[in-house]
A and B are shown apart, each in its own frame.
Chain A
Amino acid sequence: MKFAIAVHGAPHTSQASASAYRFARALLDEGHELYRVFFYRDGVHNGSALAAPPQDEQDLTADWQTLARTHNVDLLVCIAAALRRGILNADEAERYAKPAANLAQGFELGGLGQLVDAAVHVDRLITFGA
């Protein structure tokens, strides 16, 4: 079966991202397909390459990257939510004349249409709210 996950919470603030990550791992372990993880609202902070959590704490950005690499999962960061919160790729940093780009490797910026596209293509859509 195909799943999509919507993540609405920032790591280090609420449990939402960590819960979503564990659910993602479990559904892959169960042999299902993860079509897309859509990071919306404060969830976009999962895609920051500049977060530097203490070494003895979970690094969710790195965890998502590993998941994307090993299972070919689409990590989609809502562009409108990301721009508001200062998560930019190189193109957007240039467009808005910002001094840096910080979207982590393995994550992509995209529109809310990608959430709708996921809803159209999957059997189950689950939201992890904060």
Chain B
Amino acid sequence: MSTLHTVNKSPFNHATLSQCARLCHDQDAIVLLEDGVYGALTSSPCATDLASLLARGVALFALECDLRARGLEARLLPGIQVTDERGFVRLSLEHKTLQSWY
């Protein structure tokens, strides 16, 4: 059974996203929210990790309101999907458990 991970810390300041990526199963998905959305930048220190997750079939999302608030919408890595809160709720139902990385 799969897990939806949420990450709310910037990978420029924290190892949170890289550790989440390391322990992510192929069927899992990750939602980046709050300062976690900085992880979705093309300059993200986790860009290579995220690309290999995408290649393994892990779905990666960034929360639209947090991207917009920070002016990041045009700077996203390819493959990152943008979702709103209702999409976030639907994702939480597609996976059995939710792990919050903070």
Q: Which residues of A contact B (CB under 8 A)?
A: 1, 3, 8, 14-16, 19, 22-23, 25-27, 29-30, 32, 123-130
Contact = CB atoms under 8 A, between A and B. Distances in A.
Given A1-B93, A124-B93, A23 B88 contact: yes
A124 B90 CA distance: 11
Contact of B33 (A19, A32, A123): A19
A4 B84 CA distance: 19
Contacts of A30: 86, 89-90
Given A1-B93, A30-B90, A124-B93, A25 B102 contact: no
Interface in B10-25: none
Nearest to A129: B102
Contacts of A27: 89
B63 to A, nearest CB: 8
Q: Is the interface of B mostly helix, strand, loop or mixed?
A: helix
Contact of A29 (B34, B65, B86): B86
B44 interface: no
A79 to B, nearest CB: 23
Interface in B60-102: 65, 84-86, 88-90, 92-93, 98, 100, 102
Q: Name A's interface SS.
A: mixed
A26 B93 contact: no
Nearest to A124: B92
Nearest to B33: A19
B34 A25 contact: no
Contacts of A129: 8, 100, 102
B88 A26 contact: yes
B34 A26 contact: no
A16 B36 CA distance: 12
Interface string B18-62: 000000000000000111000000000000000000000000000
